[in-house]
Amino acid sequence: MLRRLLVGSTHYILDPFGEHCDLRRFGLKLAARCGKNAKRRAVVAEARKLAVLLHKLWVTAEVYEPLRPKARGKAVVAA
């Protein structure tokens, strides 16, 4: 039952109705790859990523940030 809920949630995230977040960006990037089963593989990969994320949030009691700030490279110091 849990697997069914995770896959259903992933389908919602990847559909046009899903909100813009890091999970959606990741899934759409995987689905854009060439191949016959790219969408199916993206759904399974994202469902696993969602399960790991939910477990981590549950254990650490952190607050979920749907759009994390991008890591910037080292700042160039002008002399």
Average of per-residue pLDDT values in the chain: 79
- The answer to whether the CB of 16 falls within 8 A of the CB of 54 is no
Is 21 part of a structural domain of the chain? yes
Distance CA 30, CA 27 (A): 5
Total count of domains within the chain: 1
Is 65 part of a structural domain of the chain? no
Is 41 part of a structural domain of the chain? yes
Is 52 part of a structural domain of the chain? yes
Distance CA 55, CA 70 (A): 23
Q: How far is CA 47 from CA 65, 68, 76, in A?
A: 18, 19, 39
The whole domain housing 24 covers: 2-60
pLDDT of residue 68: 67
| Confidence bin at 34 (pLDDT 50/70/90) | low
What pTM does this model have? 0.70
